[in-house]
Amino acid sequence: MQDKSAFAPPSLLLATIALSLATFMQVLDTTIANVALPTIAGNLGVSSDQGTWVITSFAVCNAIALPLTGWFTRRIGQLRLFIGSVALFTLTSFLCGFAHSMGELIVFRALQGFFAGPMFPMCQTLLLVIFPTSKRSMALALLSMVTVVAPIVGPITGGWITDNYSWPWIFYINVPIGIFAAITVWTQLRAREETTTTAPIDYIGIALLVLGVGLLQVVLDKGNDLDWFSSQTIIVMSVISAIALVSFVIWELGEKHPIVNLRLFTDRNFAIGTTSLTLGYAAFFAINIILPQWLQTQMGYTAIWAGLAAAPMGFLPLLLTPIIGRYASKFDLRILATLSFMTMAASCLIRAQFNTDVDFRTIAQVQMFMGIGVAFFFMPITTIVLSNLHGAEVAEGSGLATFFRVLGGSFASSLTTWIWSRREVFHHANLTESVSVYNPAAADYLQKMGGVTQQHLAVVDKTIEQQAYMMSTIDYFWILGWGFMVLTVVIWFARPPFVRSGAPGAPAASGH
């Protein structure tokens, strides 16, 4: 029987390339500016703390836009929303590069983040539309590869462009890619019919969403800088955010035309899949934060070498994606997700055996091993998330799941730095207690250095600091490893079959 929800573009290859490029560009932009922040702040004459708003403004507006994707889809249509988002993202990218002050850059980055919001969910939705039913696992596997590779390439590319050209080019490179993607996708899919609806606008829901999610994202981005709840600002924003989000959930569940369809969580597979996606991605994201940070601050790696040590993680997903996409439908997807979580858990527990003598090759090999788990992560779980969704629910579910995935990454970013620093302080205090003239081993060590002097004590303290950070890193990898093991249990609460609607049943053209 023919799948009426599918649409065959003139060139499936060209449409896929354009959709993937647009998504790659958008995901890349979430990390590419990070390494250029000191240069941007210096060139625009502001402090490093002010410069971080370049990242925060993007993250806040991106987080607000993601849950609105379903509503935008109903009002505008899938194709028009995607084309409009890519075009406006491209325009604001150009304006970011053209900015002459930090104020202008922050405003343009905020707009860029908002327009970036619908791009990933719409790419996922349109790929499910254009691929025949038998090959939709391949489409999701391809998108998962883009999701994995882009954040790895981002910091390396951003550092290289900043060092060899100038920081505006990290934004200007989006312009030709965006123009190509928008024109190509439009020409390939414009013949597809779409039906839109004009339901009343839920202004109260929008206001509560913007207030709650916006402040939550600011709290997560600025919490470490302001020492969390020692700051009156963080306390006030956290309380307002919590009240707004609780009110938002209550309001949306009782609203006839909600701005965000929270009722999707009544579907078991969507709820379990989104939970697994959020927590799994948060742990995955935490690895990508703590490893380069430890290598650069404690092991003497440059940003480029730290990036190269982490990069092998993306190698195996590139090779395995076509195989997984082709044969995944023959397996229970919970088995593939379990394989993913167990492999990533094993990689974390192996890292928990590291010491300060670990070499580049060992770090890179463990990263490559984790790539097996990453390759099996996104596609099976995304398929489970969408498996029971129909029609317009696919776009709504994709946007909502992506929102929670991004929010999980934000929590991971904040908590990783906080836990890592706190555990270092704990281990540093314990190790320092042993450094005393009354401890024969410590006294002998200092005597071999030439006696107890300020210079020698400073050297010892530096050694203790390095070891304390090493112990803190080990602690965190133990936490992440056991966290992945817990997810191997959670995913089994999903209920097969996973081959209806969303994964292979694709969204219908109608917006009902």
pLDDT tens, the chain, 512 aa long? 334 456 777 888 888 889 888 888 888 877 777 667 777 777 777 776 666 777 778 888 888 888 888 888 888 888 889 999 999 999 999 999 888 888 888 899 989 989 998 888 888 888 888 887 777 777 777 777 777 777 777 767 777 777 777 788 888 888 999 999 999 999 988 887 777 777 777 888 889 888 888 888 888 877 877 778 888 888 999 999 999 999 988 988 888 878 888 888 888 999 999 999 999 988 988 888 788 878 878 888 876 787 788 878 877 887 887 788 777 778 888 999 999 999 999 999 999 998 888 889 999 999 999 989 988 888 888 888 888 887 777 778 888 888 888 888 888 877 887 888 888 888 888 888 777 666 777 767 766 776 666 777 777 778 888 888 899 999 999 999 999 999 999 999 988 876 644 343 333 333 33
What architecture is domain 261-499? Answer: Up-down Bundle (1.20)
Mention every residue, 6+ apart, whose C-beta is less than 8 A from residue 55: 33, 34, 37, 221
Distance, in Å, from the CA atom of 504 to the CA atom of 341, rounded to the nearest integer, reads 24
Q: Which helix (H) or strand (E) holds 280?
A: helix 268-298
Q: How many CB atoms lie within 10 A of CB 369?
A: 17
Distance, in Å, from the CA atom of 169 to the CA atom of 338, rounded to the nearest integer, reads 41
Residue position matching structure tokens 């343009």: 108
Distance, in Å, from the CA atom of 141 to the CA atom of 138, rounded to the nearest integer, reads 5
What is 8-196's CATH topology? Growth Hormone; Chain: A; (1.20.1250)
pLDDT tens column, 171-194:
888 899 999 999 999 998 888 777
What tokens does 455 get? 């210079």
Where along the chain do its domains lie? 8-196, 202-258, 261-499
SS3 at position 2: coil
Same fold, 8-196 and 261-499: yes
- pTM of whole model > 0.85? no
Measured N-to-C along each axis, helices 393-432 and 203-222 cross at an angle, to the nearest 10 degrees, of 20
Q: CA 392 → CA 151, 255, 260, 326, 401, distances in Å?
A: 29, 18, 12, 26, 14
**8 A C-beta contact, residue 312 and residue 360:** no
Distance, in Å, from the CA atom of 87 to the CA atom of 83, rounded to the nearest integer, reads 6
Distance, in Å, from the CA atom of 68 to the CA atom of 73, rounded to the nearest integer, reads 9
Phi, psi of 361 (to 5 degrees): -60, -45
Torsion of CA 115, 116, 118, 122, to 10 degrees: 130
